[in-house]
Structure 1
């Protein structure tokens, strides 16, 4: 099995829309790797291999090996263009990284313990306001995902960005702009069933 964190590519000399279409007609994916104090380089990758790699969520929040004509560079996946009408990857953008320079990457949020949370046991339903968050850190400290533990969340309560437990060396980009950017991540809402149960309990207590 190929390494899902390695993208093997060939360099291509031509750029532009016409050249990209020609690459796609060959069943391949045009791409570019840029940044990192080097000139941008146009690439060609196998469509089938790209599709297999993109099935893994971790690819989007990992430092990758991009091997071009046998030479490997460290990079992160900054952009994926897809054809919405059919199962086709149109273009990839890779950003070179230095292991000694901070990067900004969107990292997925994994929500745990909803069913066993305080609110969940009462029939509450978690409503997610975010599915990922942009962080800044050195490449070596980049987390695959951030865990959001709902176990203590009660109905009517909300977790915010500042409630996230971050690995050492990882910061949330938007929080660097001030406390007013402490956005909600997830709220525990009362379901219709839990509201009816509460109403029944209230009427029994009154009667």
Structure 2
């Protein structure tokens, strides 16, 4: 899937200018990092609103198309209005293909319904985590990490160290010791 978003530079900045942009159907944002100066940009609100409903928007490399030139970026912050269906601001970090990046990736739980714990009426399967922080090169960044629960029995727990990670991907928390090997799924 080509995760490309069109963007244009914005000349004015400040609170009043950002309000005017939002009223005109745009979202102010910033693109920073990658050894270059930060760029003040604006996005089409409807395009961003539709994109933010997809998992890839939060956990994959996105291509920003700025007047024909492209930049590889990763979403770092998204600010929403407290009650309106409106995005207020976006922060993107430029990605260097040779630098390790740290990102949060969602967990996808599969085969829970066929596991012994999933079939039992008196067992509750709890998903303790919904995402995990990983470190990898941008080319190895997965959209999600699958957690196979087909062998889960009553009383079992799945820990971070039990996850099957794609090649080149690691969980930095596991380097901190056994105390950081958090439970991902419990069956009680």
The TM-score by the shorter chain falls in which range?
over 0.9
**Residue 146 of structure 1 contacts residue 166 of structure 1 at CA under 8 Å; is this kept in 2?**
yes
Could you tell me which residue of structure 2 aligns to residue 150 of structure 1?
Answer: 149
Could you tell me which residue of structure 2 aligns to residue 194 of structure 1?
Answer: none
Max radius of gyration: which structure? Answer: 1
Q: Taking structure 1 as the reference length, what is the TM-score of the superposition?
A: 0.86
Could you tell me which residue of structure 1 aligns to residue 11 of structure 2?
Answer: 13
C-alpha deviation, 1:176, in angstroms: 2.2
Tell me how far apart the structure 1 counterparts of residues 41 and 68 of structure 2 sit (CA, whole Å): 13
Aligned residues between the structures: 187
SS at match of 1:119: helix
Deviations 1:21-65 (A, max 9, x none): 121111111111000000110111100111111121122111111
Note if 1:37 corresponds to 2:35: yes
**Residue 4 of structure 1 contacts residue 59 of structure 1 at CA under 8 Å; is this kept in 2?**
no
Deviations 1:60-85 (A, max 9, x none): 11111111232211111111111120
Q: Taking structure 2 as the reference length, what is the TM-score of the superposition?
A: 0.95
C-alpha deviation, 1:17, in angstroms: 2.0
1:19-58 paired onto structure 2 within 5 Å: 19-58=17-56
SS at match of 2:151: coil
C-alpha deviation, 1:181, in angstroms: 0.4
Unpaired segments of 5 or more residues in structure 2? none
Tell me how far apart the structure 2 counterparts of residues 95 and 183 of structure 1 sit (CA, whole Å): 28
C-alpha deviation, 1:188, in angstroms: 1.2
Give the stretch that moved more between structures: 64-73 or 39-48: 64-73
Task: Let me know the Cα RMSD of the aligned residues.
Answer: 1.3
Tell me how far apart the structure 2 counterparts of residues 151 and 55 of structure 1 sit (CA, whole Å): 29
Could you tell me which residue of structure 2 aligns to residue 125 of structure 1?
Answer: 124
Could you tell me which residue of structure 1 aligns to residue 88 of structure 2?
Answer: 90
Tell me how far apart the structure 2 counterparts of residues 44 and 86 of structure 1 sit (CA, whole Å): 19
**Residue 11 of structure 1 contacts residue 69 of structure 1 at CA under 8 Å; is this kept in 2?**
no
